[in-house]
C-alpha cells in the first residue's frame, strides 16, 4: 500500500509546457528528514496534442525499505475543447514484482480495453464506461488540463473526474492566490500561484492510505511561468503531513527545448 501511495503522489509532481515546446524538470523528494525519491519528467503541450512522460525512483533509506521504480507515458490529441486520449503506458517495479499497464482507446479517444501484466502474466479486460461525465483517463492528463487553464487564465481552480478503466477519481484544485516564492538552491525569487489539490476516490474504504491522505489534506504545489518563454512550471510540491512525515518535492533542474 505504501509503494502505491508514494508512486501515485509522485505523479502529481509535474512540469508543464505549451506551444509544442518540451519542458523537462527534475525533483528531489524528501519525506520527513529523509531523501525519498528522484523524479524526472518531460512534457509537451500544443493546441492540437499533448504528451507527458515521467520516471520515478526511490532513493536513500526509502530505496532500501520501499524499493520502487516507475515509468509513465501519456499521449493524446486536442480538438477545441475536446481532449482525446491516444495512449497510456505504465511500468512499475518493486523488490518483488514487475507490473505493466496499458490503456487502449478507440479513434474518438474513448477507453475500450485495459491490458495489465504482473511478472509476465498478462490480463486483458474490455472496459465498460460508467454512466458519468469523464474528463480524463489518467491523473497526468487531468493535471495537464489544469495547467492549460492556468496558462490561459492565471488561475488553477478546476475540477476533473478521472476513470482509469477500473476506478473513478475526482481531482479538485483550489486556487490559493499569489504568494512570494523563494528557493535559494535554484535561485528563484518571484511571485507564484499556490494551488491546493484534493484527490478523492469513489468507494475508497476508510483504511485506504492514499485516499485518506489526499482527500483530507491538500497536495500543495506552486505554479509560475518561465520569464523568457512564458511556459508554466512547478518549482515545488508539498504535503504537510503523511504517515511518514511531511513531504516536499523540490525542483533541481529545468530545461526547455523549443
Q: Are 167 and 203 in contact, with CB atoms under 8 Å apart?
A: yes
**Looking at per-residue confidence, does 119 or 81 come out higher?**
119
Mean pLDDT (the chain) is 86
Joined grid coordinates for residue 127: 472496459
Tell me how far apart the alpha carbons of residues 186 and 129 are, in angstroms, rounded to a whole number: 44
Q: Are 108 and 79 in contact, with CB atoms under 8 Å apart?
A: no
The pLDDT of residue 195 is above 70: yes
The pLDDT of residue 210 is above 60: no
Report the length, in residues, of the chain.
258
211: Cα separation from own chain's centroid: 15
The pLDDT of residue 117 is above 90: yes
Q: What are phi and psi of 209, to 5 degrees?
A: -60, -50
- pLDDT for 36-67, tens place per residue? 999 999 889 898 999 999 999 999 988 998 89
The strand ranges marked E within 145-257 are 158-163, 168-183, 188-201, 219-225, 232-239, 247-257
The pLDDT of residue 144 is above 80: yes
CA distances from 12 to 5, 52, 59, 190, 236 (A): 12, 12, 18, 22, 11
Tell me how far apart the alpha carbons of residues 16 and 63 are, in angstroms, rounded to a whole number: 27
Tell me how far apart the alpha carbons of residues 246 and 157 are, in angstroms, rounded to a whole number: 24
C-beta neighbour count of 5 within 10 angstroms? 20
Model pTM score: 0.85
- pLDDT for 163-189, tens place per residue? 999 999 999 999 999 999 998 888 888
pLDDT band at 137 (very low <50, low <70, confident <90, very high): very high
pLDDT at 12: 53
pLDDT over 70 percentage in the chain: 87
pLDDT at 96: 95
Average pLDDT (118-143) is 94
pLDDT band at 214 (very low <50, low <70, confident <90, very high): low
- pLDDT for 102-114, tens place per residue? 999 999 999 999 9
CA distances from 169 to 32, 34, 67, 132 (A): 27, 30, 26, 12
The pLDDT of residue 250 is above 70: yes
Domain locations along the chain? 2-257
H-helix or E-strand spanning residue 6: helix 2-10
Joined grid coordinates for residue 78: 486536442
- pLDDT for 8-38, tens place per residue? 555 555 434 334 689 999 999 999 989 999 9
**Minimum mean pLDDT among 69-78, 134-143, 207-216: which range?**
207-216
pLDDT band at 4 (very low <50, low <70, confident <90, very high): low
Tell me how far apart the alpha carbons of residues 139 and 128 are, in angstroms, rounded to a whole number: 19
pLDDT band at 245 (very low <50, low <70, confident <90, very high): confident
Residue ranges of alpha helices (H) inside 16-174 are: 60-65, 139-153
Amino acid at each position: 500500500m505504501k509503494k502505491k501511495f508514494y508512486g501515485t503522489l509522485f505523479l502529481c509532481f509535474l512540469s508543464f509546457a505549451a506551444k509544442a515546446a518540451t519542458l523537462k524538470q527534475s525533483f528531489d523528494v524528501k519525506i520527513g528528514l529523509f531523501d525519498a525519491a528522484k523524479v524526472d519528467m518531460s512534457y509537451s503541450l500544443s493546441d492540437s496534442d499533448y504528451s507527458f512522460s515521467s520516471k520515478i525512483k526511490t532513493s536513500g533509506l526509502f530505496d532500501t525499505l520501499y524499493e520502487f521504480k516507475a515509468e509513465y507515458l501519456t499521449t493524446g490529441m486536442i480538438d477545441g475543447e475536446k481532449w482525446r486520449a491516444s495512449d497510456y503506458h505504465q511500468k512499475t517495479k518493486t523488490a518483488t514484482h514487475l507490473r505493466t499497464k496499458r490503456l487502449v482507446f478507440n479513434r474518438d479517444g474513448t477507453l475500450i480495453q485495459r491490458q495489465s501484466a504482473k511478472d509476465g502474466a498478462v490480463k486483458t479486460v474490455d472496459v465498460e464506461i460508467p454512466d458519468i461525465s469523464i474528463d480524463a483517463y489518467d491523473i497526468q492528463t487531468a493535471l495537464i488540463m489544469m495547467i492549460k487553464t492556468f496558462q490561459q487564465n492565471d488561475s488553477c481552480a478546476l475540477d476533473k473526474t478521472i476513470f482509469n478503466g477500473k476506478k473513478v477519481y475526482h481531482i479538485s484544485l483550489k486556487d490559493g492566490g499569489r504568494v512570494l516564492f523563494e528557493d535559494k538552491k535554484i535561485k528563484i525569487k518571484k511571485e507564484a500561484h499556490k494551488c491546493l489539490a484534493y484527490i478523492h476516490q469513489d468507494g475508497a474504504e476508510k483504511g485506504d492510505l492514499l485516499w485518506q491522505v489526499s482527500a483530507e489534506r491538500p497536495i500543495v504545489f506552486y505554479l509560475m511561468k518561465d520569464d523568457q518563454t512564458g511556459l508554466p512550471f512547478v518549482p515545488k510540491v508539498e504535503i504537510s503531513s503523511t504517515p511518514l512525515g511531511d513531504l516536499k518535492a523540490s525542483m533541481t533542474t529545468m530545461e526547455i527545448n523549443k
